Each structure stands twice: as structure tokens, then as C-alpha cells.
Structure 1
Amino acid sequence: MLRDLDYQGRVLARLGDYLTELSGQKLKADKIVASNAQETDPDLKRPVPDFPLKTWEVLCASGKLSDSRLAVPYSTRQDGICRAVPDIVFKVPTGGGKTFLAVAALSKIFGQYLGRKEGFVLWIVPNEAIYTQTRRQLADRHHPYRQMLDVLSGNAVRLLEKADQLDARDVESHLCVMLLMLQAGNRENKDSLKMFRDRGDVDGFCPPEWEQHAHAAALAANPNLDIYDLAGSSYPWPQVKDSLGNALRLIRPVVVMDEGHKAVSELAFSTLYGFNPCFVLELTATPKDVAPTGGKNPKPGHHANVLVEVKSISLDRGGMIKMPLNLDPRSGTDRRTALDRLRDLDTSA
């Protein structure tokens, strides 16, 4: 059974404030995009605002950001085709219930911001131990975390791993949650990864191979889709690969990044945002800011967009911090040694 903890309620309330403002700012940006699409004179087209940045500025002005991060500027995130992506960080100490906060946040993101219960969540974890634990919790229909997802989706959760079959109809009718270890989608040679290769069990996302105009339209809408090498293709026009990577780019998943501070390299960023996410939620105890570098190969810096920060004292008040218990088992029934040790501890305290 889950307990109602004050600090978790504060985190989710702050998320609610953020999503309310984000929805309004996105609506304005979408109207400009629609207007620009109808405008034939390039000089009359209006620049599309960075709606996550606008949202952040409003929250900052209203005092709804963490005091320790007020001097840190917002770091804009863009997907693989340069669309603005909302990105926020929950700074939560270890043992603070990050998985609960992630699941509860998904309910708000889908319900309050996206306005739907179906879709796709790409849940990225840093190592096998956390992968196994998270999968066990989300797969167990009696576990509170899975039950929260069932409530969100109307009992239509589909838990996936990267090698599982994926059909577009599942994404349209289910809440699909795919677990992925960070290193599985973050290597130098993407061509060697199965998730970027052509697969026969990723269905319904790409056009039939013979529909030339449909492939051209898909590439025009999403230029970062992987295509087959024309030299080895049966058709003389570019064809989109039936790969998991391409499916994710077309789906535009919500990304949950557990231990987000471990995915701050340039490669990790390009891979993650190359999946064209529509929202990124990072959870970490130690958010990391990356400074820009100069030299022959300059690289831009980026900051962690910490929306809310939970202090360790909040966990202590909620009974989430457990004191270690060191046992020294000994044979016999003599209690004098234990009493002497207790007096020593009292003295040192």
C-alpha cells in the first residue's frame, strides 16, 4: 500500500502548474504553425516560439521554480527535426520514490497535457539491476505502480522490451511502455544496433515498399528517418526502414529517464532526442550541468532543467530514510558486553 507523502504531493502539484502553463503556450505555438502553413509569402510568416522556454519563464517569474536553480538559465531541447521538446527534471534523493513519481507524473502528462490515455512511453534505465526491478514492478498487476498505469490506460497497458514485436495498432489502442537500458540505444555505431536495423516485426508505421510518394511524404515530414542504401535497394527511390528506431521517431514517445545525470554526453543527447520525443521527464538525485567546450571541436553546453527539488529532510519527515542496523552476533548469554557497548555509544554521542 502506498502512503501519501507531503513532498510527493508537492512535486506533483508543481508538475500540474507546469503542464497547465505548457498546454497554453503550446496552443499558441500550434496556432502560429498552422497560420504559417497557410501563408504563401515567406516574409509574412511568423517565428514559432519555443513554448517550453516560454513556460519556464512564466514559472520563474511567478516564483514556482526551485530557489537553488533560479540563476540557472533554461536549456532548450530539440528533437531530431528541430522541434522544441519539453524537458523537466525531478531532483529527488536516492530512496525518495522516483519510480512512484514517474508513474504518477505519466498520469498527469497523458491526461493533462496530451489529453489521451493511449500512446507510448520509452522508459530508460541506467543498468540491469534497475531494469529488472522496474520491469518486475510494472509487470505485476497487483503492484501499485502497475495499477496506477492500468487506471490511466483503462486496463490497456502493454509492457514491452526492445526485441518484442511492435504494431502501430497497439500504440493506437494501448498504453505501451517499453523498457530500455541506456547503453542499448547509445553507442557509437548505431548501424550495429538491432533497434536501428530493418525488422520484420515492426508493423504499420512505414508505407508499403512500392508506394514511392508515401515514402517521400514520410521523409519530408520526418527528415531524420533512416532509409535503405539505394545501392542495395530494389527500388530507385529512397525507402524508409521498418526499424524500431524509425517507429519511435514516428510515434514521438514520452521519455522517462531514470538517473538522468548519466545521459548528458553529446552522443546520449543526440540519440535520445533523435527519437523525436514529445516530452522528456528526468529523475535524478544529482542533476548535472554540462559546460560548453571550445577548441577545434567546440560543443554546446546544457543545463538540467530542474522543475522541483526535494530535500533530504523531506524524506526524513516522511519516514523514507532508514538508519543502518549493524549486528555483531556472539554466542552465549552474557549481556554485559552489549551494555558496555551501549554506554560507549551514549558517551560518544
Structure 2
Amino acid sequence: MSLKPYQSDVLDAFEAFLRAYREAGEAAPGSRHASREAFEHCTLRNFGFRIPYRAPSALAEADVPVVCLRIPTGGGKTLIGGHAIGRIKHSLMPAGHSLTIWLVPTDAIRAQTLRVLRTPGELLHDELRGLLGEVAVLDIDEALSVQPAVLDSHDTIVVATMQAFKQSDTERLAVYRPNGALMDHFRGVDQPGWSLVEALRLRRPFVIVDEAHNQGTSLAFDTLARLDPCAVLELTATPDRLHQPSNVLVSVSASTLQTAEMIKLPVEMATHGDWRIALREAIARNAGTLRTIQTPTAQRLVDLAQTRNPLGAMPI
């Protein structure tokens, strides 16, 4: 495998959390505190102090573990997410094949994620096959007609935007509508609804929420609860601190990425007591770069750097 050391460390921390969650649940079945105990135990080890676990209300009753890996932009979140499937399969799904719902914020990111998962020669494509063997990668249209034989014989990843599932009026979305193409999933099930969401929830999927800071609303977690996930993993560079504060299990610094040669541009760090000075100095150092960005805002920043006017006078 071609993981950087920090990526392996992040995945090891995630797997350690999953083991602690499983062990806490086995020690006290039905207690609904396994996520909290595992998270606080692991953050004590990872950060040196316990961080309180904040269970999203929609997932608290079932004690579904929801944790966040904070990875700066350029740190390989998609690669880490792919390897996380192997870790969760080993820890929580020892038998059978895994089902992962990989949710992204935009169609552009959806297309990019599908490409790296499907294309031979792409690092994530090749490494996932090495980890899991046969992998089926589906977009939402393909999932709407997927047959049980596919899910029974492959580790399966469904890549979709959150908006494909996220709607207060669920009848407006195809994934919630009765679908005759999915009837075989419900053999022996009492009062099936025949929808894709119900077919997925029968298998308790692992859910990855990419760029999770864009999704941290009560409706988003209500949406995840409809899938009855076995676990939810948030991947983001900027964890949500406003709507539903993220349970940050691991935080990777920019300096770690630089040491691992993941950042190709030089990074200079300095401390200033006044944020105005910090911004002014950053602008002054990068005035040449800003000139190449032909926008009025960029030009005003260049002008500011050259004249060193007080920041409060900058008309942005």
C-alpha cells in the first residue's frame, strides 16, 4: 500500500475507535453509551484529554457512532475514506460483504469520486481491490435497479450527493419511492416499502460523508438515520462547530502534510498579536500571485499591500 505514515496513523486511530466501540457495546448490551465511551477513551489517547462526545439526536437512540477525521485539503481524504471501508469491514462487518454509502456535496465531487473508484490505474481503485477483492461502484441511477446478487457477492460502494437523499418531503426523491426493480431485496420482509432507502437500510450500510462541514444540519442527520447506518464517518478539513459540532477523532495539521511532502508550495508560519498585521504581511508576501488573479478584490488587495493602508480602510 502507498499510504503516507500520517494516513496510516489516522486509519489506525479510526480502527482503534471501532474496536473500543464494539467492546463497550459487548460489555454493556443495550446501554447506548458505547459511542461516547469509545470516543472519550480514544480522544484521551489521541489528544491527551477527553473530548465530550456529541451524539446527533437522530442517531442517538440507536447509538450509531459518528466521528470525524479532520484532514487538511490536499491530505488525501478520498484515499483515507476508501481505506476506512476496509477498516470498518474488519472491525464491524467480519462476515459477508460491506455496503458503503459515500455522500458528497456536489455533482462535480461525485463525478471525481466515481472516477477514482472505478478507473483501473487510479490509486484508490487498485488499492481497494487489493484490500477487498471484488468491488462494485454504483451511482444513484444504477443503485435504483441493483439486485441482491450484486450486494451479496461484492463489497459495494454507492456514490451520491447528499441531495439525492436529503429532503424533508421524501416523496419528491426517487430513492424513497416504491420501486418494482428492487422487489427481490424484500423477500421474507413484512410490509416492505420497496424503495431504495429501505433496501439499503436492510443491510445497515457504512456511511461516509465527504466535506461534512457542508452537511451539518438536523435534516442531514435525519437523512442519515433513514439509512440505519452501522457507523458514520465524516471527512473534512473544517469540522462543523455551529450546527452539529463534529466529533473530531483525529486532527492532522498542515505541517504534517508538509513533512509528508503533500504540500507542493512553501508554507511560512509566523505569529502576530494583531490579525490585521498578519493579513497585511500575508498580502505583501503574495502580492505577485494576487496580480495574476484578475478580479477587483485581488487588485484591491495588491493596492493595499503596496500602500500599507490601515486594513480598516480596505473597501472589500
TM-score tier after normalising by the smaller chain length: 0.7 to 0.9
Larger radius of gyration: 1
The amino acid of 1:82's aligned partner reads E
The amino acid of 1:56's aligned partner reads F
Aligned residue in 2 for 1:233: none
Structure 1 runs not aligned, ≥5 long: 34-47, 209-213, 216-238, 292-301, 330-349
Aligned residue in 1 for 2:180: 200
8 A contact 2:35–2:65 mirrored in 1: yes
Q: Identify the range of structure 1 (282-291 vs 3-12) with the bigger mean alpha-carbon deviation.
A: 3-12
Inter-partner Cα distance in structure 1 for 2:157 and 2:212 = 18
1:24-76: CA deviation from partner (whole Å, max 9, x where unpaired): 123224xx35xxxxxxxxxxxxxx2421112123224xx32336xx5642012
8 A contact 2:114–2:139 mirrored in 1: no
Aligned residue in 2 for 1:229: none
Percent identity reads 30
The amino acid of 1:182's aligned partner reads M
The amino acid of 1:285's aligned partner reads A
Please, what is the CA RMSD of the aligned residues?
2.5
1:190 aligns with 2:170: yes
Of residues 114, 138, 151, the one that matches 1:171 is: 151
1:235-262: CA deviation from partner (whole Å, max 9, x where unpaired): xxxx321110111221210001100111
Structure 2 runs not aligned, ≥5 long: 267-287, 293-316
Aligned residue in 1 for 2:37: 54
Judging changes above 3 Å, is the alpha-carbon distance between structure 1 residues 327 and 126 closer, same or farther for their aligned structure 2 residues?
A: closer
Deviation at 1:319, TM superposition (A): 1.2
Aligned residue in 2 for 1:9: 8
Aligned residue in 2 for 1:222: none
Q: Which has the higher helix share?
A: 2
Deviation at 1:183, TM superposition (A): 1.3
Aligned residue in 2 for 1:161: 139
- Provide the aligned length of Structure 1 versus Structure 2: 269
1:173-207: CA deviation from partner (whole Å, max 9, x where unpaired): 21111001111111232101110001122142224
Inter-partner Cα distance in structure 2 for 1:130 and 1:4 = 22
Judging changes above 3 Å, is the alpha-carbon distance between structure 1 residues 326 and 81 closer, same or farther for their aligned structure 2 residues?
A: closer
1:309-334: CA deviation from partner (whole Å, max 9, x where unpaired): 000001111111122996999xxxxx
1:310 aligns with 2:252: yes
8 A contact 1:190–1:196 mirrored in 2: yes
Judging changes above 3 Å, is the alpha-carbon distance between structure 1 residues 80 and 166 closer, same or farther for their aligned structure 2 residues?
A: farther
8 A contact 1:149–1:157 mirrored in 2: yes
The amino acid of 2:112's aligned partner reads Q
Inter-partner Cα distance in structure 2 for 1:81 and 1:205 = 27
8 A contact 1:169–1:204 mirrored in 2: no
Q: Identify the range of structure 1 (77-86 vs 88-97) with the bigger mean alpha-carbon deviation.
A: 77-86
Aligned residue in 2 for 1:64: 45
Aligned residue in 2 for 1:290: 242
Aligned residue in 2 for 1:43: none
Inter-partner Cα distance in structure 1 for 2:82 and 2:161 = 18
Aligned residue in 1 for 2:52: 73
Inter-partner Cα distance in structure 1 for 2:88 and 2:75 = 20
8 A contact 2:40–2:51 mirrored in 1: no
8 A contact 2:32–2:62 mirrored in 1: no
Inter-partner Cα distance in structure 1 for 2:169 and 2:32 = 34
The amino acid of 1:305's aligned partner reads N
Inter-partner Cα distance in structure 1 for 2:256 and 2:96 = 32
1:95-114: CA deviation from partner (whole Å, max 9, x where unpaired): 11001111111111111332
1:151-176: CA deviation from partner (whole Å, max 9, x where unpaired): 2322x211111121222232222111
The amino acid of 1:257's aligned partner reads V
Inter-partner Cα distance in structure 1 for 2:241 and 2:219 = 16
Inter-partner Cα distance in structure 1 for 2:141 and 2:103 = 15
The amino acid of 1:176's aligned partner reads T
Of residues 67, 72, 77, the one that matches 1:98 is: 77
Deviation at 1:77, TM superposition (A): 4.1
The amino acid of 1:200's aligned partner reads G
Deviation at 1:138, TM superposition (A): 0.5
Give the TM-score of the pair, scaled to structure 2: 0.78
Inter-partner Cα distance in structure 1 for 2:174 and 2:25 = 35
8 A contact 2:138–2:157 mirrored in 1: yes
Aligned residue in 2 for 1:236: none
Secondary structure in 2 matching 1:89: strand
